[in-house]
Structures are given as C-alpha cells and as structure tokens.
C-alpha cells in the first residue's frame, strides 16, 4: 500500500538537478511532498490536488499524474540546504470508508559543495 519512491538515494553536486518519483498502486486523490532533516519532523513543501497539476516552490516544483497514480518532484539548481530525505504523502481510502494518511518509502538526497 505504501507509495514507492525512486531513487532511494541520490547524491548531487551543488547546482545540479534531480527528479524524485512517487508511484502508488492505489488511486491518488492528492499528493503532498515533504523534506525531513535528520532528527526533525517532516516539513511540508507543497500539495497537488488535481491530476496533471504542477506546482512550484522557488526552485522546487512537482507534477501529479492522476491516471498513472504518480507524482514527481523536481529540484533544479540544487543548493546545500536541499539535503535531506524527501517523502511523498497521500490520503489512502480505506475499506471502512475513511481516509488514512501514509508516506512513501522516502528518497535520501545529499547535495555536495
């Protein structure tokens, strides 16, 4: 049930670009992206609500393909501060008719000077 993220880990040089993918076997109604620094809670980056929606946040943007049940996070001209673990998150519809919130498997990103 947990969305699978790829790659699991990536190392970049400052200024390079990266793409992180989030793929679900279940229908996605919305996708959230987070960045987590070591020992801290996840920090919300953005939410995508509609299939095909794209959003940007400084040099970080994301897209959401509802039909493919996938979302991608794009990091351009990476900075040292981008280092951390990135998670996608989504509300998953349950058999009891409610929604529960789960995270993807995570992608560790390290930006080197």
Interface residues with other proteins (CB under 8 A) are 2, 29-30, 32, 39-42, 44, 47, 49, 87, 89, 91, 93, 96, 98-106, 108
**96 contact partners, CB below 8 Å, separation of at least 6:** none
Q: Which is nearer to other proteins, 13 or 38 (CB)?
A: 38
Q: Give min distance, CB of 2 to other proteins, in A.
A: 7
Q: Give min distance, CB of 9 to other proteins, in A.
A: 10
Q: Give min distance, CB of 71 to other proteins, in A.
A: 14
Q: Which is nearer to other proteins, 15 or 93 (CB)?
A: 93
Question: How many other C-beta atoms lie within 10 A of the C-beta of residue 31?
Answer: 28
Instruction: Give the C-alpha distances (Å, rounded to integers) separating 112 from 12, 13, 17, 81.
Output: 6, 5, 12, 10
Displacement of CA 99 from its chain's centroid (Å): 19
For 17, the token pair is: 């670009």
């Amino acid at each position: 049930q947990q969305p699978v993220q790829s790659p699991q880990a990536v190392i970049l040089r400052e200024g390079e670009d990266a793409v992180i993918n989030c793929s679900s076997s279940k229908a996605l109604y919305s996708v959230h992206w987070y960045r987590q620094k070591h020992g801290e809670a996840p920090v919300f980056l953005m939410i995508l609500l509609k299939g095909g929606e794209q959003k940007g946040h400084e040099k970080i943007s994301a897209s959401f393909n509802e039909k493919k049940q996938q979302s991608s996070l794009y990091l351009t001209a990476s900075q040292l501060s981008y280092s951390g673990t990135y998670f996608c998150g989504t509300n998953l519809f349950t058999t009891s008719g409610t929604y529960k919130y789960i995270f993807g498997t995570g992608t560790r990103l390290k930006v080197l000077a």
